[in-house]
Amino acid sequence: MDANKLPRHIAVILDGNGRWAKKKGVPRAIGHKEGCETLKHILDTCYEWGVSFFSVYAFSTENWKRSQAEVTALIQLMRYYLPRLEKRSMERNTKVRIMGDIDGFPADVQKIMHHLVDTTAANTGLTFIMGLNYGGRDELRRAMVKLAEKVKRGELEPDAITEQMISENLDTAGIPDPDLIIRTSGEMRLSNFMTWQSAYSEFEFPTVLWPDFSDADLEEAVNIYNSRDRRFGGRKNEES
């Protein structure tokens, strides 16, 4: 992969674990486990290619609506994979950030998450952002609360609130907006992912189910991205 051709920030809505399991005739939890293995592999690929920012949507604020058995299985996977992710991130100079309200998780899982983020905070290579109990609307709501508190304390005039201030109060503060958002499994919706940050992202909806997503699929997505013409509301050149 030519490093010059890489989008600075690639985001993935990893979808299709359940359908993958159904197709194989195995429990949904096995689909999620396989999805974690795929994520581990794709994260390695991003590291090897030299991607700067890679983010994934792994658990939404709406995913609590699933059966208790499925939610428990997903949390169990966090208990298993997150400490391993921490170890690997230290070996690979990777900084892990979490977007989402981690207070929603059991205390022991919160502890693992805080440890992961704190331990890897000084790493300077790839930044890997995980959406865990993440919802774009919830994130905006929390940012608004922070800004409203400043207004209440008399530190900020309502009319002085800028777009940049809003960005800086989101969980992705300091992280550039995603250039490319890929959603696997063929679903064409954001499902509450990066509501604010996706304003000018490019979108791709490959039909592959997440556990089957490969390096070749990622490469194809990057190639399609490079064929797009991003205009940001302006003009590509000033010719008539």
Q: Which residues are catalytic?
A: 15, 63
Identify the residue among 16, 135, 136, 178 touching ligand IPE (CB under 6 A): 16
Rounded Cα distance, 151 and 76, in Å: 41
Please, what is the minimum distance in Å from the beta carbon of residue 32 to ligand IPE?
6
Cβ proximity to ligand IPE, 101 vs 168, nearer residue: 101
Rounded Cα distance, 164 and 152, in Å: 20
Q: Rule CB under 6 A: say whether 198 interacts with ligand IPE.
A: no
Residue 61 contact, options Mg ion, ligand IPE, none, Cβ 5-8 Å cut-off depending on partner type: none
57 in Cβ contact with 12 (< 8 Å):
yes
Identify the residue among 45, 123, 191, 195 touching ligand IPE (CB under 6 A): 191
Compute how many other C-beta atoms are within 10 angstroms of the C-beta atom of residue 27: 15
Residue 59 contact, options ligand IPE, Mg ion, none, Cβ 5-8 Å cut-off depending on partner type: ligand IPE
Q: Rule CB under 6 A: say whether 76 interacts with ligand IPE.
A: no
Name every residue whose Cβ is closer than 8 Å to that of residue 70 and which is 6 or more positions away in sequence: 28, 29, 32
Query: Of 12-20, 84-92, 109-117, 131-139, which segment contacts Mg ion by CB under 5 A?
Result: 12-20
Using only C-alpha atoms, the chain has a radius of gyration, in whole angstroms, of: 19
Closest by CA to 73, choosing from 21, 131, 4, is 21
Q: Rule CB under 6 A: say whether 15 interacts with ligand IPE.
A: yes
Q: Rule CB under 6 A: say whether 116 interacts with ligand IPE.
A: no
Q: Rule CB under 5 A: say whether 15 interacts with Mg ion.
A: yes
Sign of the CA dihedral with 232 first, then 228, 197, and 167 last? negative
Name every residue whose Cβ is closer than 8 Å to that of residue 133 and which is 6 or more positions away in sequence: 59, 60, 61, 64, 100, 101, 102, 104, 105
**What element of type H or E holds 129?**
strand 127-134
- What Cα–Cα distance (Å) separates residue 52 from each residue in 127, 205, 219, 233? 6, 22, 16, 25
Residues in contact with ligand IPE, shown as a per-residue x/- string from 131 to 170 under the rule CB under 6 A: ----------------------------------------
Query: Of 15-23, 85-93, 125-133, 205-213, which segment contacts Mg ion by CB under 5 A?
Result: 15-23
Identify the residue among 39, 58, 181, 194 touching ligand IPE (CB under 6 A): 58
Please, what is the minimum distance in Å from the beta carbon of residue 6 to ligand IPE?
23
Please, what is the minimum distance in Å from the beta carbon of residue 145 to ligand IPE?
23
Which residues would be at the binding site for Mg ion (CB under 5 A)? 15
Which residues would be at the binding site for ligand IPE (CB under 6 A)? 13-19, 57-60, 63, 74, 185, 187, 189, 191
